[in-house]
Amino acid sequence: MTNPRPVKLDCRNVWKLYGTGADRLLQDHVAPTLDDMREAGLIGAVRDASVQIHEGEIFVIMGLSGSGKSTLVRCLSRLIEPTAGEVNFEGRNLLTVPEKDLIEIRRKKMGMVFQQFALLPHLTVLQNAAFPLDVQGVDRATREARAREVVELVGLKGREDYYPRELSGGQQQRVGIARSLAVEPDLWFLDEPFSALDPLIRREMQDEFLRLQALLHKTIVFITHDFDEAIRLADRIAVMKDGEIVQTATPEELVLNPATDYVGEFTKHIPRAKVLRLSSIMSPGDAESVAGQLPGTARVEDVADQIEAADLPFRVIDGAGEAIGTVDGRAVIDVLIGRSHG
Amino acid sequence: MTALRRPYIFWLALFAVTWALSRWSFPLYKALDARWIIKFPKAWELPLEGWISAAMAWLVESATFGLFTFRDLTRFISALIEAPYDLVRNLLVDGFQTGLGQNAVEVAPSLSWIAVIAVVGALAYYAKDWKLAVLVGACFLYLAIFGQWESAMVTLASVLISVPMGAVGGLALGILSYRYQWFERALRPMLDLMQTVPVFAYLVPILFLFGFGPVSALVATIIYAMPPMVRITTVALQTVPPEVHDVGKMTGCTRRQMMWKVLVPVATPTLMVGVNQVIMLSLNMVIIASMIGAGGLGFDVLGALRRLDIGAGVEAGLAIVVMAVALDRLSQAFAVRERGHAITGGFVKRHPWGVTVVLVIVGTFLAGQFLPALQTYPDGATVTTSRFWSGAIEWINVNFFDTFEAIKVFFLNWLMLPVKRFFGGIPWPWGVVALGLIGWRLGGWRLGLLCAVMTLFIAASGLWPKAMVTVYLCGVSVLIASVIGIPLGVLAAQNERAGGIIGGFIDTLQTLPSFVYLIPVVMLFRVGDFSAMIAVVLYALAPAVRYAAHGIRSIDPGMIEAGKVSGCTRRQLLWRIKLPLAAPSLLLGLNQTIMLALSMLVITALVGTRDLGQEVYIALTKANTGQGIIAGLSVAFIAIIADRIVTALARKSKERLGLEA
């Protein structure tokens, strides 16, 4: 599947090895194996990671703790210096730009949200949100006006003068989000932003996040260890294990064709109806008499009732309104009870 | 050798040999006609003392940096400290004058006593609440009413000057050692040494460089109070969560912005704990430094001790206590203070306290022109408790003399003298060997070598007998402090009410400057080893209690439940489960107790001990830098040996419990 949107962040063959002699190992071996590393006494936090993140997409990096996802996102923003590789952002390799330019890029083009919120305890909500602008030397009136906008955007209007300690976890993370949006970043990193929150609040924040994205259309790199969260939010997902990206695909592709047993373990328990779209379960060809038309991008879960209630199959159409196949009640039931096709 | 590896046999054998050698070292020397056994040969003594003194003399008399001499440098530093000190002192005590001596004309008086109380009260309210304002105000009012105002203000002036300098200096050094690893590596051993070298030893070279007077006292105070601030700053910066660093980087902070906009503000609560320490250490040192001209309350205590003026000593001592409590509570309140919400409105509305304080200052200044009582607390209205204290102590001494004497004699005969004889008899060559063996046994050959070399240094400086007196006094004091402190700590941990009372008591003990402990002890037991021992025990009690309580409290509750389920009685629970698990913590407490005991021991030289402290004290009175530094280093080495050995023990017990790999 080709993605029509241009690549915003292109990360090629990034390595991050911990231990002495990491550079030498990478010079000697083009692609050292886990055994090579064990022998050299090194730990491979990120191994040969390549991802392309397209403009305006939500790209989720999913992995369990210790899989290297946090390290990878820090390599992408160069909070951690990768051992080898390239990270191209708008045509420049971030890993070689001078410190001064990097500061400028971070000031103007990047925003990041952190797992533990990382709010500055001595500043109020408004001052926290205005902090990135303060660092840039923006005058007080301008930066506070902008901070008020983003604070309102995340739904904290009226709490501008609160200190972080006076807010709940969910509210604190809203401040974290407001702060990362204050500079109108092109590239938005979210490092497990909702993992420290209660499940109910987490769900609410995910909705909030989707609402914001519908409004702002940022290019997003989102880290999570929660596969449900990944499925719910992602346009595309990269699954990491032991520092390696095992598969990069849309949620649907992951569920339908897990590349390894490891990925399969995750997808097995995912209710397919929530992930699969009609275009994946339709039968090819067209039918004479149909109950109606449905877009191929509709999720099974959302149209299941409709299809099941009808006696006739539905015609599935693509974006241009062309018929691409048909879907009937049986196909939907297959998905719902987990029966394989055919 | 295989037998030696068995733990009990090794320790038993070591003790037996040491005891035998100690008991018969004198006959042994007679029999072999080898005097070197009991006394380090004069001919082999290190001439370090002379070298250091000569080096200091050269530094002061002829060292030059080309453009300016070393003496110019010390004079420059003097001026730098003296100018603000004079200003604060004029403000608090002397008033502002032009002209000198007879021709002096007062331009403006010092702050009135009412104004000072208003300022500290307002600060306390700003930092916390009304209750604290009343407490701190009452403390200062006490100073006025009981006639200690002037001395107290002199002491306060010294504290006010040395605290900002110590805190800012400590912060700067802390930031540098956080930023540059090489700097930290260079600084750390110096900090370690400075914390173990007794305070008197600082005074000697400073006295030599800056002469007798307030400047010397301030320099000593600043140097003394700075190391904890350096450490706390480094730790505070290092413990800022990594995500906060990331925030700074991702928002594009420069290095300077990172430090001042992110790290330092986030670390501020911890840094304020450091400032609190600087304040308390400064107060402690300003009192001690009265010996080299700081004046103030410390001088009053010292004078009273010398005159054996019981009443005056107790009065000045109480004033120090009151001041320590006020400063401690106030600075602690600032440390935990949470920022309130901004108040909007006019200037007066936004700064109610600033405005009030200015009004009080101006008001009392104007009113003081007509009513002197508002300016200076009238002498006639002061209450002196001096006679009461003298009477009370006299009454105690008359009625309980026999009791106190009996206690003293009992301890001396049954504990202190035998221990003294034991340590005093150990021949120095065996001391070196024995400490080497202990170090080797507990921490490997490196530690053994370190212990042996340090011990040899002490012997080679001709200080062996005095060092043994130090070890004996310190050992006995630590033993008694542990015997009292550990049960108190266990009690505090097991019983909440007792914990509250004991905690408060220990907190108060710890805020008191070390000097204060000498007063009641000398009053009741006069001078000598026993008095010194009591003062040391009081001073060193706190860590034994605290660490014991902490050790018991931090035991995994699951273990205690497991014990209960297994049917342990309360006693079994304590002896079989709690105490063994708290052992590492108890050892850490022991370590701290030893350190505090050593530092206090040097101060007790004032009440007539014949140990290394006395050596330092003698050096101080003679301004003999070499002697002072060597004796100071010897105390530091004893401290270092003790520290390393106890730390090794603690590590072993932790490993045994599987608490740490």
- Residue-wise burial string across A226-259, b where 16 or more C-beta atoms lie within 10 A, e elsewhere: bbbbbbbbbbbbbbbbbbbbbbbbbbbbbbeebe
Q: Which residues of A touch B (CB under 8 A)?
A: 74, 77, 79, 103-108, 110-112, 114-118, 120-123, 131-132, 134-136, 161, 163, 165, 179-180, 183, 189
pLDDT at position B659 is 65
pLDDT at position B346 is 67
CATH of the domain at B639: 1.10.3720.10
CA A282 to chain CA mean position, Å: 28
Quickly list DSSP for B85-136. Answer: HHHHHIIIII-EEES-GGG-EEEEPPPPHHHHHHHHHHHHHHHS-HHHHHHH
The total of other beta-carbon atoms located within 10 Å of residue B498's CB is 14
User: Is the model's pLDDT at B491 over the cut of 50?
Assistant: yes
**Cross-strand bridge partners of residue A189:** A112, A221
The answer to whether residues A60 and A168 belong to one domain is yes
Q: Are B530 and B608 in contact (CB under 8 A)?
A: no
User: Is the model's pLDDT at A342 over the cut of 70?
Assistant: no
Q: What is the CA radius of gyration of chain A?
A: 23
Q: Check if B342 contacts A (Cβ < 8 Å).
A: yes
Instruction: Give a yes or no: residue A342 inside a domain.
Output: no
Q: How many angstroms away from the CA of A296 is the closest CA of chain B?
A: 40
The answer to whether residues A315 and A257 belong to one domain is no
**What would the 3-class secondary structure string for chain A be?**
CCCCCCEEEEEEEEEEEECCCHHHHHHHCCCCCHHHHHHHCCEEEEEEEEEEEECCCEEEEECCCCCCHHHHHHHHCCCCCCCEEEEEECCEECCCCCHHHHHHHHHHHEEEECCCCCCCCCCCHHHHHHHHHHHHCCCHHHHHHHHHHHHHHCCCCCCCCCCHHHCCHHHHHHHHHHHHHCCCCCEEEEECCCCCCCHHHHHHHHHHHHHHHHHHCCEEEEEECCHHHHHHHCCEEEEEECCEEEEEECHHHHHHCCCCHHHHHHHHCCCHHHCCEHHHHCECCCCCCCCCEEECCCEHHHHHHHHHHCCCCEEEECCCCCEEEEECHHHHHHHHHCCCCC
Q: What's the mean pLDDT in B30-48? A: 79
In chain A, which residue's Cα lies nearest the Cα of B343?
A161
User: Is the model's pLDDT at B135 over the cut of 50?
Assistant: yes
pLDDT at position B340 is 67
Angle formed by the axes of helices B48-61 and B625-657, nearest 10°:
120
User: Is the model's pLDDT at B204 over the cut of 70?
Assistant: yes
> pLDDT tens for residues B377-404?
777 777 787 788 888 888 888 888 888 8
Binary contact (B266, A114; C-beta < 8 A): no
The answer to whether residues A239 and A294 belong to one domain is no
HSE of A331 in the Cβ direction (CA atoms, 13 Å)? Answer: 22
Where is pLDDT greater, at B70 or B266? B266
pLDDT over 90 percentage in chain B: 22
Binary contact (A115, B339; C-beta < 8 A): no
Which amino acid, B500? G
Query: Domain containing B569: what range?
Result: 3-38+403-657
Task: Point out the residue among A114, A122, A131 whose CB comes nearest to the CB of B243.
Answer: A114
Binary contact (A111, B250; C-beta < 8 A): yes
Q: Among B240, B245, B247, B263, pick the best mutation site for testing chain A contact (most A Cβ within 10 A).
A: B247
- pLDDT band with cut points at 50, 70 and 90 for residue B5: low
Of residues A237, A225, A233, the one with CA closest to residue A70: A225
> pLDDT tens for residues A188-209?
999 999 998 888 888 999 999 9
The residue behind tokens 């700074």 is B248
Q: How many angstroms away from the CA of A79 is the closest CA of chain B?
A: 7
Where is pLDDT greater, at A213 or B384? A213
Where is pLDDT greater, at A24 or A190? A190
Of residues B606, B637, B608, the one with CA closest to residue B471: B637
The total of other beta-carbon atoms located within 10 Å of residue A299's CB is 15
User: Is the model's pLDDT at B172 over the cut of 60?
Assistant: yes
User: Is the model's pLDDT at B97 over the cut of 50?
Assistant: yes
pLDDT over 90 percentage in chain A: 46
The total of other beta-carbon atoms located within 10 Å of residue B46's CB is 15
The answer to whether residues A227 and A96 belong to one domain is yes
Instruction: Give a yes or no: residue B602 inside a domain.
Output: yes
pLDDT at position A72 is 93
The answer to whether residues A235 and A290 belong to one domain is no
> pLDDT tens for residues A267-284?
888 888 888 888 888 888
The answer to whether residues A69 and A89 belong to one domain is yes
The answer to whether residues A284 and A165 belong to one domain is no
Q: Check if B270 contacts A (Cβ < 8 Å).
A: no
Between CA B635 and CA B46 the distance in angstroms is 17
Residue ending a domain, among A256, A271, A286, is A271
The total number of structural domains that make up chain A: 2
**pLDDT-wise least confident of A314-318, B177-181, B635-639:** A314-318
Residues 6+ apart with CB under 8 A from B189: none
User: Is the model's pLDDT at B604 over the cut of 90?
Assistant: no
Binary contact (B262, A189; C-beta < 8 A): no
Instruction: Give a yes or no: residue A294 inside a domain.
Output: yes
The answer to whether residues A172 and A305 belong to one domain is no
Query: Domain containing A282: what range?
Result: 273-337
Q: How high is the mean pLDDT of chain B?
A: 85
Within 8 A of B341 by CB-CB distance, chain A residues are 161
Instruction: Give a yes or no: residue B514 inside a domain.
Output: yes
User: Is the model's pLDDT at B265 over the cut of 70?
Assistant: yes
**pLDDT-wise least confident of A29-43, A160-174, B178-192:** A29-43
**pLDDT-wise least confident of A60-64, A129-133, A174-178, B211-215:** B211-215
Angle formed by the axes of helices B310-336 and B514-525, nearest 10°:
150
pLDDT at position B74 is 85
> pLDDT tens for residues A148-184?
999 999 989 999 999 999 999 999 999 999 999 999 9
Binary contact (B339, A165; C-beta < 8 A): no
CATH of the domain at A287: 3.90.1280.20
Q: Are B14 and B437 in contact (CB under 8 A)?
A: yes
User: Is the model's pLDDT at B606 over the cut of 90?
Assistant: no
Task: Point out the residue among A110, A122, A132 whose CB comes nearest to the CB of B339.
Answer: A122
Where is pLDDT greater, at A1 or B578? B578
The answer to whether residues A225 and A330 belong to one domain is no
Residue ending a domain, among A271, A288, A321, is A271
Between CA B76 and CA B62 the distance in angstroms is 16
In chain A, which residue's Cα lies nearest the Cα of B337?
A122
The answer to whether residues A75 and A164 belong to one domain is yes
- pLDDT band with cut points at 50, 70 and 90 for residue A285: confident
Q: Are A237 and A248 in contact (CB under 8 A)?
A: yes
CATH of the domain at A195: 3.40.50.300
Of residues B310, B330, B333, the one with CA closest to residue B322: B330
The total number of structural domains that make up chain B: 1
Instruction: Give a yes or no: residue B145 inside a domain.
Output: no
The answer to whether residues A251 and A316 belong to one domain is no
Q: Which two tokens stand for residue B561?
A: 């439940």
pLDDT over 70 percentage in chain B: 96
Q: What is the CA radius of gyration of chain B?
A: 27
The CA–CA distances, whole Å, from B53 to B47, B207, B264, B623 equal 10, 13, 42, 10
pLDDT at position A1 is 45
Between CA B482 and CA A175 the distance in angstroms is 51
Within 8 A of B246 by CB-CB distance, chain A residues are 74, 79, 112, 114, 118
pLDDT at position B343 is 64
Within 8 A of A101 by CB-CB distance, chain B residues are none
Where is pLDDT greater, at A288 or A143? A143
Between CA B230 and CA B519 the distance in angstroms is 32
Quickly list DSSP for B551-619. Answer: HHHTS-HHHHHHHHHTT--HHHIIIIIIHHHHHHHHHHHHHHHHHHHHHHHHHGGGG---SHHHHHHHH
- pLDDT band with cut points at 50, 70 and 90 for residue B661: very low
Q: Among A135, A136, A166, pick the best mutation site for testing chain B contact (most B Cβ within 10 A).
A: A135
Instruction: Give a yes or no: residue A241 inside a domain.
Output: yes
The residue behind tokens 């400063």 is B327
The answer to whether residues A288 and A205 belong to one domain is no
Task: Point out the residue among A108, A114, A131 whose CB comes nearest to the CB of B246.
Answer: A114
Within 8 A of B267 by CB-CB distance, chain A residues are none
Predicted TM-score (pTM) of the model is: 0.83
pLDDT at position A341 is 53
Binary contact (A118, B243; C-beta < 8 A): yes
pLDDT at position B6 is 67
Instruction: Give a yes or no: residue A161 inside a domain.
Output: yes
Binary contact (B253, A135; C-beta < 8 A): yes
Classify burial at B194, counting beta carbons within 10 Å of its beta carbon; exposed 0-12, middle 13-18, buried 19 or more: middle
- pLDDT band with cut points at 50, 70 and 90 for residue B139: very high
Q: How many angstroms away from the CA of A240 is the closest CA of chain B?
A: 22
Q: Are B459 and B432 in contact (CB under 8 A)?
A: yes
Q: Check if B259 contacts A (Cβ < 8 Å).
A: no
Residue ending a domain, among A222, A243, A271, is A271
Of residues B548, B629, B553, the one with CA closest to residue B589: B548
Within 8 A of A71 by CB-CB distance, chain B residues are none
**pLDDT-wise least confident of A119-133, B55-69, B181-195, B550-564:** B55-69
> pLDDT tens for residues B290-329?
888 888 888 888 888 778 777 888 888 889 889 988 998 8
Between CA B184 and CA A235 the distance in angstroms is 48
